Amino acid sequence: MRNRVGVSPMCTYSADDGLANPWHVAHLGARAIGGAGLVMAEAAAVEPRGRITPHDVGLWSDRHVDALKPVATAIESQGSVAAIQLAHAGRKASTYRPWAEASGVVPAEQGGWTTVGPTPEPFRPDDPAPTALDDAGIADLIEAFAVAATRAVAAGFRTIEVHAAHGYLLHEFLSPLVNLRDDRWGGPFEARVRFPLAVIAAVRQAVPDGLPVWVRVSASDWRPDGWTVDDTVRFAELAREAGADLIDCSAGGAVPGVRAPSGTNVQVPFAEAVRLRAGVPSAAVGGIVDPAQADAIVGEERADVVLLGREMLRDPFWTLHAAQRLGRPVPWPDPYGWAVAKRR
């Protein structure tokens, strides 16, 4: 990475049958032109029923590899590391995209599907019940993540992130608020982490040694009876043993109705805890908007990488602007720089 700034994976809900298209090339390529060290493509579902909405990107067939190749090429051609997140939405799947006229779960007659989860309990009381995964279903999904990782590498991505956050499937198994199973996949901490760790190990085995495997976690459920930062530190150590190279620390999403604390750097302590207590490289996310703020997080060794989302939507050239504001300007791409530099 040419710097420690990355673009967070942000769903844009603009794919058809999971296939990336010119929108994704333009959207992600612009952030690479803007100077980010790493650009992570949005969550790619490892199977069709793993999509949050019917418009999510997928990686469940070779057609999806071909569709994503131009995205990875656009990112890499502009000097950024092309990364992608592999995901399964679990019981939070089959919903309308945010700007749709309707909200909630998409019915079958409109293209929706039956979701899966640790148990038959839905995310919201009025949602249709998911199907509880059995041993065979869990084994199939471990394989689906591994195969998707192989496809991601074939598409040209050089960092693979496993999505285990925000109340989606792997987080559903981690969180005691959601995983109420009483078999080998639920109950105590050691059982709840078994499925996510198996996915991490399978992805690590599928990815060449030289390519990093990241894991995004919700480091806190924002409830004392839920997943905690202490659980995250413990999980980070196990994830490293399973093959993870970095833990990307977000938070929340397991259950509805939980209000996250507000304020600057509210999630940065999670990345700091993983880095210092577990000894595992970490990424900090959430509310990072100011260049000095981002620089301090990395400079003070609170995290190894900062990932920005909404700020990168507002300003694709955030990284280049940040370098100027911090007094460490870097050249703009020649097609822009010859004009921009002369006017400053």
pLDDT band at 223 (very low <50, low <70, confident <90, very high): very high
**Weakest-pLDDT range from 79-83, 261-265, 282-286:** 261-265
pLDDT band at 56 (very low <50, low <70, confident <90, very high): very high
* Residue tagged active-site, from 13, 96, 168, 336: 168
- What is the maximal distance between C-alpha atoms in the chain? 66
Active-site annotation holds for 336: no
Q: Where are the alpha helices (DSSP H) in 118-193?
A: 135-155, 169-174, 189-192
What pLDDT is stored for residue 325 in this prediction?
96
What is the average pLDDT across 113-142? Answer: 98
pLDDT band at 343 (very low <50, low <70, confident <90, very high): low
What is the average pLDDT across 296-300? Answer: 98
User: Three-state SS for 326?
Assistant: coil
6 CB-near residues (< 8 Å, 6+ apart) = 36, 37, 38, 39, 40, 83, 283, 305, 306, 307, 308
Give buried/exposed letters for 31-57 (b at 16+ CB in 10 A, else e). Answer: bbbbbbbbbbbbbbbbbbbbbbbbbbb
- pLDDT tens for 8-25 read 999 999 999 999 999 999
